[in-house]
Amino acid sequence: MNETEFVPEAQCSVCSAWPPQDRASKRALLDEIPLGKPICPRCFVAFWKNMGMLNDDGGIEQWLEGVKH
């Protein structure tokens, strides 16, 4: 099984071009992610939340804080 490797936001293929102050609002609309390209953990989680696959009851924010990239 392959484990997803995350990158810092500055290297993320999704959000690195967005101004930092706009990232949270843009992630709320995220409905696709590029396959095979680097992605940060916040975009990864936002995508799955927006697809209805995750909720915050499972400690997602705590997980995000512990993700190494």
Does residue 1 register a pLDDT over 60?
A: no
pLDDT in tens, 6-63: 999 999 999 999 999 999 999 999 999 998 899 999 999 899 888 877 766 656 666 6
Q: What is the pLDDT of residue 20?
A: 94
Q: pTM to 2 decimals?
A: 0.76
Secondary structure in 3-state letters for the chain:
CCCCCECCHHHCCCCCCCCHHHHHHHHCCCCCCCCCCCECHHHHHHHHHHCCCCCHHHCHHHHHHHCCC
Where in the chain are the domains? 9-66
